[in-house]
Amino acid sequence: MGVSRLKRKEAKNRSRSTKRVETIKRLRTFKHITSPYKGESGIILEDKG
């Protein structure tokens, strides 16, 4: 392989790695959403409203 091909391969690998790391970080974030029905136990959701 010539030097330019190696540089192109390195650039491609870096961009893939960066994208992969960003995706892993995005998927690992934990968003805690509290349930709006937490205080009301035994309620049937279809009948409410």
Mean pLDDT by 10 residues, the chain (49 residues): 89 97 92 74 61
CA–CA separation, 9 and 49 (whole Å): 59
Distances (CA, A) of 3 to 6, 8, 10, 41, 45: 5, 9, 10, 67, 65
All structural domains of the chain with their residue ranges:
1-28
Q: What is the pLDDT of residue 24?
A: 94
pTM: 0.53
